[in-house]
Structure 1
Amino acid sequence: MNLDHPVLSSLLPVVVLIFIGYMAGRARLVRGESVRDLSNLVFLVLTQALLFRTMASSHVAQLDFRPVMQYFLVASVLFFTMLAVYGGNSRASVMALAGIFSNTLMIGVPLVGLAYGQAGQVLLFTLISLHALILLSIATLVLELQVAREAAAQSGDVRSVWRTVGSAVRNAIIHPVPLPILAGIAYSFTGWGLHPVIDKPLLLLGNAFGPVALVLVGITLSQTPVGQQWKTALRLSLVKTVVHPALMAAVGWLLGLRGLQLGVMVLAAALPIGANVFLFSQRYRKEEEMITAAVGVSTAVALVSITVVLALLPLLPT
């Protein structure tokens, strides 16, 4: 086995980190009641640092957004289609997010760098700069609307539609994901840059996000009855790693994407489910076991699907 193959060299570290977490969980090094606290640490501290620093350091005006907007068009259509298929409730929102949210950072950056070089990474960084803002914000807004509606139905408090929408929008904006992204974008327009005293701690915290989140996935996986979840997890993984890139390839080609732009966007769509979806399910306590299993299963499935994508991309008509 050639461990220097681009797909293996990008995905195996993710598998190893999940396995380390799994063994730590099986050895009871982290107790079940501590998982929620670790999840909060990652979601409310490490994620904040990563998102703010990424956006504060970006040069939004200089980025090429045309292929990225087409990527989000495909992702949005797939999200709302899955939302309807899975029942249109708060559980469905988390499932639909898993079908479109890629592990662009831990896996995407090294994989695109190996496959397309620096030019491909610049395009991927453009996608990353908006990936969480757009996809997590859409999911947050939809989920907050559903949670508000479900809570009103259970309590018998039938509030006006506008009050429900207003509450959901407020909760979606004052939220641990969109808030640091919007703050980072606003700061980037000042042109001041980040002083090393601030930048270094943010960098260290942001770098810790991927490894800690994946170890946490492994810990949770050790406490999850995967046997009961594997069929649903496999179906969701196939949507993420097969259906998503196939749609991106078809729609992107029809809308005029070619070459490097099409290749990077399709490869990004083929990536396995990102750890942010796991944290999202933990925060809202929706489909936690299934999403935990799906993150692990999609990473394994991606070993095959990404290899196929890389083989087929050069065959697309120019």
Structure 2
Amino acid sequence: MDTPALTALLPVVLLIVLGFIAAKVDWVRPAAVKDLTNLVFYILTPALLFRTMASVKLGELDFSPILVYFLAVGLVFVGTMLVFGFNTLAAARALAHTFSNNVMIGIPLVGLVYGQEGLVTLLTLISVHALVLLGSGTVVFELAQARQFSSEGRPQGLARTLGQAIKNSVIHPIPLPIIAGLLYAQTGWGIPGVVDKPLQLLGSALGPMALLLVGITLAYSKLGSMIRPAMRIAVVKTVVHPILFLGVAWLLGLRGIPMAAMALAAGLPVGANVYIFSQRYGVAQEEVTACIALSTGLSLFTLPVVLLVLERLR
């Protein structure tokens, strides 16, 4: 049972290691990290999100397993904010506790283990995963940032704070292409080939580029003091999150391959998009970088265990 997990996870580890090496041999210098982050955040990510959402037909999807998944996500996210307070650091940790690497690791892993039926469930999750988590995460980040500004002597009214947060959450490189793609999909029009091919090329570059960037940042980060908080995030993401999901799923009667595919998604390591958020908001960058690397390494051991548990439960 561990072969599919290793097959999917090892390329991810390799890309992070390659980025680390590239920085150590000065192929990528510290001054370039911010520019590479902007490239990923403003070009590659919107291309992938728009193209993914532009093929989503809402009426054809079964959202019941997805609702159970996001119920567990909500419990983890809210619990994190309650423990660490309503601030951008807590928001970064909450997003890291809940945002899975569904595309780079989830698709090949679920496809190998559960076939087409499992993939349909996972792709349904992926179609709304970014919209729900990155969209709501942006709102939380903006509200937390506005609250911190207020506490620093730059107060503003609640209505203005909410309005500004909502505006910044929509006119933003993450939610905007998701919403635009979703609206375009409902027209029934296909994306013209002359547009679709560049979007496909840009989107396919996102995963490898983001993982290389994690390795590059890792090389320039002093992780000695970050090991403990990063490992805490890694344990919550790869152990606590899937256990909590399984409990919620069992209570709500979700069974079979849909339950197994969602449990596997919950147990995936932290997605690289969390780092992009931490970089954009200037918070917990070293901690998030470390937790992505540590959770990916830890998942080499936890995912096979999750697969064995799921085999007994189904």
TM-score range, shorter chain: over 0.9
What is the CA distance between 1:152 and its match in structure 2? 2.4
Instruction: Say yes or no: does 1:162 pair with 2:159.
Output: yes
Q: CA deviation at 1:266?
A: 0.3
Deviations for 1:230-277, whole angstroms, at most 9, x for unmatched residues? Answer: 111111000000000001111011111001011001000000000000
After TM superposition, give the deviation of residue 128 of structure 1 in Å: 0.2
Give the match for residue 22 of structure 1: 20
1:268 maps to 2:265: yes
Classify the secondary structure of the residue corresponding to 1:29. Answer: coil
- Residue 132 (structure 1) aligns with: 130
The Cα of 1:153 is off from its aligned counterpart by: 2.4
What per-residue deviation string (whole Å, max 9, x for no partner) do you get for residues 125-154 of structure 1? Answer: 000000011011111101101111211222
Whole-angstrom CA distance in 2 between matches of 1:135 and 1:76 = 10
> What's the TM-score, normalizing by structure 1?
0.97
Deviation at 1:162?
1.0
AA in 2 matched with 1:62 = E
**Map of 1:205-224 to 2, 5 A cutoff?**
205-224=202-221
Amino acid paired to 1:288: Q
Q: Which residue of 2 aligns with 1:77?
A: 75
Stretch of structure 1 that moved more, 83-92 or 28-37: 83-92
Establish whether residue 178 from structure 1 lines up as the match of residue 175 from structure 2.
yes
Question: How many aligned residue pairs are there?
Answer: 314
Structure 1 CA distance, aligned partners of 2:246 and 2:154?
A: 46
Kindly indicate whether the alpha-carbon contact (under 8 Å) linking 2:238 and 2:267 is maintained by their aligned counterparts in 1.
yes
Aligned pairs (5 A) from 1:1-318:
5-154=3-152, 156-316=153-313
Tell me the SS of whatever aligns to 2:269. coil
Task: Give the deviation of 1:87 after TM superposition.
Answer: 2.2
Provide, for residues 87-113 of structure 1, a one-character-per-residue CA deviation record: whole Å limited to 9, x for no partner. Answer: 221111001100000000000000000
Gaps of 5+ in 1: none
* CA distance in structure 1 between the aligned counterparts of 2:4 and 2:144, rounded to whole angstroms: 41
Please state whether the residue corresponding to 1:80 is helix, strand or coil: helix
1:18 maps to amino acid: I
Shift of 1:9: 0.4
Tell me, yes or no, if the aligned pair for 2:149 and 2:155 is still in contact at 8 Å.
no
- For residues 116 and 80 of structure 2, the distance between their equivalents in structure 1, rounded to whole angstroms, comes to 34
Query: Under a length normalisation based on structure 2, what TM-score does the superposition of the two structures give?
Result: 0.98
List structure 1 runs of 4+ shifted beyond 4 angstroms: none
